[in-house]
C-alpha cells in the first residue's frame, strides 16, 4: 500500500503558510440543506466566509464555480472547464503552487474542489483534514485580492465515469455508493425521483471514512475498510453519491489509502432521472 499525500493537518498548514512556498488557500464552505426551520434562511457559504476565514483564503462557490447548472446530467454536473479555469486563476491558482482546500468540516465540498483540480491536471492539491473547525490560528474577515494565477485545466483521460461507464463498472469492477445506507436501500429518498441504487453497486457510506471529530481514519484503517468492500489489487473502482459531491470525499479517502478510483459525477441525481435505467432496492447490490 502506497498512501498519497492528499490531506494536510491544521498544524502542518500553519507551518506551510509561513514557509517559502505557501499554498493557495481555497474556502469552499457549502451544505446540501435548505432552511432548517420556517423563516430561517438557507446556508450561505459566502456569508460564512465573510464572517471569518483562514487568513489569505479565497472563497469558491461550489454551485457556481465547481459545477454547472442542474439538469439532465444531475444536480452538480461538471462545470464548464473554461469557466472553472478562469475561477481558479482569479483565486490565485497556478500549476507550480500548492493548493489547500477546506470547508466547514464535513469535507465534501473541499473534496469536490480537490477532485476537480486533480482531474484537470493540478499536481499538488490537498484537503485540510477536519476542515475549518480544526484551525486554531486567527481568522480574518477581509477579502484578499490574489495575483492572477496561470492554471489551465487539462482533463485526464481517466478518473471520470458517465452513466454507462458506472453501469459497466458495477459488473466488471467495484462501484461504491457513498450515500447513507437507507438511501442506497431505497427506504427513503428525500431529493431524487426514486430511491434505490445502481444495480451491482456496493453500499459504502462516506461518513464511515471519518472519526467522530470529522478527520479521516488512518490510512491503514481506510485500506482495510475498502478491502472489506471488495477493493483488491487490480480491481477498477468507481464511486457515486447523490450528485458527485460526497462521492468526491470517498475518492479522496481511497486516495489517502493509496487506492485510485474514478468519480461518477452525475451520480444518482442523473441516473434516477431517466426512467429507462434500472434501479435496485434493498441491501443486496443486485
Distance of CA 155 to the CA centre of its chain: 17
Residue of 241, 252, 254, 280 marked active site: 241
Residue with cell 446540501: 32
Angle at 7 between CA 174 and CA 227, to 5 degrees: 25
Residue with cell 434562511: 41
Q: How far apart are CA 89 and CA 110, in angstroms?
A: 17
CB count in 10 Å sphere of residue 199: 16
Residue 97 in grid coordinates: 503552487
The yes-or-no answer on residue 235 being catalytic is no
Separation of first and last alpha carbons in the chain:
30
Q: Where are the alpha helices (DSSP H) in the chain?
A: 10-17, 45-51, 62-65, 81-90, 108-119, 163-172, 181-184, 219-228, 246-256, 267-271
CB count in 10 Å sphere of residue 44: 12
Residue 102 in grid coordinates: 477546506
Query: Is the distance from CB of 60 to CB of 87 less than 8 angstroms?
Result: yes
Active-site residue list: 241
Amino acid at each position: 500500500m502506497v498512501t498519497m499525500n492528499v490531506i494536510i493537518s491544521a498544524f502542518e498548514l500553519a507551518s506551510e503558510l509561513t514557509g517559502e512556498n505557501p499554498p493557495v488557500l481555497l474556502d469552499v464552505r457549502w451544505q446540501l440543506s435548505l432552511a432548517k426551520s420556517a423563516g430561517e434562511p438557507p446556508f450561505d457559504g459566502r456569508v460564512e466566509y465573510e464572517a471569518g476565514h483562514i487568513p489569505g483564503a479565497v472563497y469558491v462557490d461550489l454551485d457556481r464555480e465547481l459545477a454547472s447548472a442542474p439538469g439532465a446530467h444531475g444536480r452538480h454536473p461538471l462545470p464548464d472547464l473554461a469557466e472553472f479555469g478562469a475561477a481558479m486563476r482569479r483565486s490565485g491558482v497556478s500549476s507550480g503552487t500548492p493548493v489547500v482546500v477546506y470547508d466547514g468540516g464535513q469535507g465534501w465540498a473541499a473534496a469536490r474542489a480537490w477532485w476537480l483540480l486533480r482531474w484537470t491536471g493540478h499536481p499538488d492539491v490537498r484537503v485540510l483534514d477536519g476542515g475549518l473547525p480544526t484551525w486554531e490560528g486567527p481568522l480574518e474577515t477581509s477579502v484578499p485580492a490574489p495575483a492572477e494565477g496561470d492554471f489551465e485545466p487539462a482533463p485526464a483521460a481517466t478518473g471520470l465515469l458517465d452513466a454507462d461507464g458506472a453501469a459497466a463498472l458495477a459488473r466488471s469492477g467495484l462501484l461504491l455508493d457513498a450515500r447513507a445506507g437507507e438511501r442506497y436501500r431505497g427506504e427513503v429518498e428525500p431529493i431524487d425521483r426514486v430511491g434505490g441504487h445502481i444495480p451491482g453497486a456496493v453500499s459504502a457510506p462516506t461518513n464511515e471514512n471519518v472519526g467522530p471529530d470529522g478527520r479521516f481514519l488512518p490510512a491503514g484503517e481506510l485500506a482495510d475498510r475498502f478491502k472489506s468492500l471488495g477493493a483488491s489489487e487490480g480491481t477498477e473502482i468507481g464511486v457515486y453519491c447523490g450528485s458527485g459531491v460526497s462521492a468526491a470525499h470517498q475518492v479522496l479517502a481511497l486516495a489517502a489509502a493509496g487506492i485510485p478510483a474514478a468519480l461518477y459525477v452525475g451520480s444518482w441525481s442523473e441516473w434516477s432521472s431517466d426512467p429507462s435505467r434500472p434501479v435496485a432496492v434493498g441491501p443486496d447490490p443486485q
